[in-house]
Each structure stands twice: as structure tokens, then as C-alpha cells.
Structure 1
Amino acid sequence: MKYMMIMRATDEGYASMADVDFGKMLETVGRYNEELIRAGVLLAAEGLADASESVVVDYSAEPPIVTDGPYGETKELFGGFYILNVASKEEAVEWAKRSPLTGAGFKTEIRRVTTIDEFPQDNEWVRKEREWRESTGQL
């Protein structure tokens, strides 16, 4: 099963990282990534650019309203993600507990990634997506 670990942090969490040597941080996260790779569970991992560079598309009006992000009410922002292929949610939790990005202001949300097999296979759009995935080597 695929699970996404969504790395979240508050402003305080980000502030606590301000004085951390970037090279040391890369080494720490790199060692964690290496563990995931050696265990054969890592499918993808990416960090996200600073939220100040984002835009928000709000669909509550017609046409949608586009504003500079992040959301004004946001208390925690996504900083990156991992996608793991593990046997269970419990295994994903165990990997999250080993994350080096810990302490006050840091959280990891874990969500199962649904698969194309969970949708009606006789649906035209599901068939088209399956064909695309097969043609691109994603299935």
C-alpha cells in the first residue's frame, strides 16, 4: 500500500530551523532517506518551496480568484512529502516516528494514497487513465 507522509510545520517550527547549518540538515535528512531507500519503501520524496512563493486559487467565486499564498488562516504549512510503499498504516507510522524533522512545531500527517484499482474499472475515464499510466510505465 502507498502512504503519503506530509511534513508540516508551524512558523515556530520553521524559525527553530533558522540557525541549523544547511549542510548538517541535508546530512540528517539524507541519512533518513537512505534508510528508506535501503528498506525498499521510498517511492518519492520532495520538499516544497517557501509558502511565500505560492499562489492560492479560490473557487468560491466565478471566475476563481487567484491570490498570493499562503492562506492567511494557516497555522501549519506543508513543507514536503514522502510517498512510501509499505504493508500497513502502522508501518508508515513507524517510519514517521523515525523522521529527523521533529520537535515543537513539527508534525507528520499520514494518508493512504488511493490506487486506480479502487475506482470502477468499467468507467471510460478510469480506462483512459489506466492506458496512460501503462504507456508511461506508471502501472
Structure 2
Amino acid sequence: MRKRLKKKLENRYNALNEAKRQRFKRKGNRCIKYEFLPVGEKDKYALNNDEITPEYPYATHWLIEAFDWKHTAQIRVFPCSKNGGTTSNSPVQMIIFNDENVKQVLNTFKKVVEDMKSDRFWQTIY
């Protein structure tokens, strides 16, 4: 019973499958690039002890997406389980660009990925 409830809680929305689908779209929100990385120990501790985001107890991975849509671009960060499931469909952090400068979006995306690999995502302000 507990195992089934845990599975329901951590897999309500699958952000990884959504990013894979968005990658091949031609119109509307289009995912330029995405990464799926494990959460480091310091970031996991900060995520669990943060008062703003208490609903991610099963998060073990980060999903980072770079989106392009009309005149804005976004980088969205989701905490996920190992199969891409999340408890809510809203990201933990969004970085929004008001122009279509794809190079700037991809440079910031690389910076976010490097920070997550070195386990200092919560300490950095973008």
C-alpha cells in the first residue's frame, strides 16, 4: 500500500517525457535542449530544508529545459524522481529572457548545467 502511494505521489506528472515530446514540436512551446542530472548532496539537503518547496521529498534528479516561444525564451528547472516523475507540473525555478537571442539562452543553460554538476545550484543567483 505505501509503495503504491509513493509511486502515485512521485509520478503525478512526467516532466522528462514532456521535454522529449516538446523537442520535436514545430509550433508553440518548443524545447531547444534538455538535461537530466542527479541531485547532489548539498542541493538535496537545501531542497528538503527549503520552506518554499516542501512537496519534493522524492526528488533525486534535476530536469533542466531550454524553451523558445515567440519572443521569449525560458530555462525551467524541475526536481524529478529517477524516471522523470514530479509531484507538480510547475518548475522550481524559471529564468526568462525577453528576446530571441538563442546564444544567450544556451550559454545560461550551460552555466546552470555546470552548477548542477558541481552541486551548487541553490547557492547561485541567475
| TM-score of the pair, normalised by structure 1 | 0.33
Question: Higher RCO, 1 or 2 (CA under 8 Å, sep at least 6)?
Answer: 1
| TM-score of the pair, normalised by structure 2 | 0.35
* Larger radius of gyration between Structure 1 and Structure 2: 1
